[in-house]
Every structure is written in structure tokens, then in C-alpha cells.
Amino acid sequence: REVIGERIRDKFAASRRKGMWMGGNVPFGYRVENRKLLIQGDEAAIVRSIFERFLQIGSATILARTLNAEGLRRKNGKAFDKGLLYKLLSNRVYIGDAVHKGASYPGEHQPIISQDLWDKVRSIVAESPSKRAGQSRRQTPALLKGLIFAPSGYAMTPAHTRKKGKLYRYYVTTSVQKLGPETCPVRRVPAGE
């Protein structure tokens, strides 16, 4: 039994090295015909769009929200989410590779995106998400940052929350953020006002 299992694993690995499709979940943008991956036109266009838009936006969260607002769905009819987009953006199948246990080999299937686009997207994904989030937050300026203080003497810093997709910006005392709302009589001030 062990020898048979070993031979099957070796055969599977050898087939992957040749770039053959060996089954499993079919990646979004492809269909399987005669054990070969073939490009699914409408889905492939969405995959290209996801890569190109991520390059412009730089945020999987915002991109997922945009795709869902446009009514785009996955194969199973479910909405796109941040986790799925990161998986999609790191799947080497889209540049024509076959991957086996972390190693990639030239695949038999056609790529959906170019190596150049892949490299640009990967350079953005390689940067830490918190750093990218900081850059997008900096685009909405907090005009009173460092200028307003609570009666307790603590500085009030910009913060935000989201409810039903709408962004609410406000200033909050640092003591409230660290120690709880009862530490300051002001608590939070709406940024717009």
C-alpha cells in the first residue's frame, strides 16, 4: 500500500512538472475540458479587470466592495471578499504556471494575464497591508489633527468607523481609545461638524 501511494504521488508530481492539470478546484476564469484548463471568456475578463483595478486602487477591501456593488459574483454565486481576492491575486495559474507543493512549472494552459501585470500586482501585495491602508487613509486629510484637545488635556486624534458601507469620520481622545469611553466627558466629535 505504501509503495502504491508513493508511485501515485510520484506520477502526480511528474505530471505537474509537465504542466498538466491534475484536478481540484477549477480556478475562476477557466473551465476543464478533456482534463485541460481552457479559458472561460467572461470570467477571464473579470480576472483581468481584478488585476488591473487592484493595480490602480491598491486595496483588496475597496476592490471587493466595488465588485459586489457592480453585481459581479464568483462561480458559486457568492460575493467577492478580501480573502478570495488575495488568493486570486497570488494564483500563478493566471500567468500560465502549474504549481505543485510550492514549486511552479510552465503549464499547458493559456495565461489570462501578462507577466508584467503579475509582477506589478505582486510588488503591491508584497507591501504590508497596514502600510497600504495608511496610505489610503492619508488621502482623506484630518485638518484638526494636533490642534484640538479634550478637557482632560489629551490630544484628540482622527478615527473612523463604517456602518452599512458609509464612512463616518470623527475625532476621539486618545484616553478613550486606550482606556475606555468613561475616561473623557467629550468622548468623540464628528469630523464634519
Mapping DSSP to helix (H, G, I), strand (E, B) and coil, where does residue 131 land? helix
At residue 1, the pLDDT reads 94
At residue 138, the pLDDT reads 57
Residues 6 or more apart in contact with residue 61 via CB below 8 angstroms? 82
List residues bridging with 155 in a β-sheet: 149
At residue 98, the pLDDT reads 77
At residue 134, the pLDDT reads 59
pLDDT tens sequence across 104-162: 677 778 888 888 888 888 888 777 666 656 555 555 567 777 788 888 787 888 887 87
Give me the helices (H) in the chain, please: 2-17, 41-57, 60-69, 82-89, 115-126, 129-138, 174-179
d(C-alpha 87, C-alpha 23), whole Å: 18
Give how far the C-alpha of residue 176 lies from the chain's centroid of Cα atoms, to the nearest Å: 31
63-67, 87-91, 137-141, 144-148, range with the lowest pLDDT: 137-141
Q: What percent of the chain has pLDDT over 70?
A: 87
Q: Across 63-77, 95-109, 173-187, which has the greatest mean pLDDT?
A: 63-77
pLDDT tens sequence across 175-187: 776 677 777 777 7
d(C-alpha 63, C-alpha 82), whole Å: 8
At residue 60, the pLDDT reads 81
Burial of 42 from C-beta contacts in 10 A (0-12 / 13-18 / 19+):
exposed
Residues 6 or more apart in contact with residue 78 via CB below 8 angstroms? none
Mapping DSSP to helix (H, G, I), strand (E, B) and coil, where does residue 58 land? coil
d(C-alpha 113, C-alpha 56), whole Å: 16
- pLDDT category of residue 3 using cuts at 50, 70 and 90: very high
Residues 6 or more apart in contact with residue 47 via CB below 8 angstroms? 28, 29, 88, 94, 112, 113
At residue 132, the pLDDT reads 59
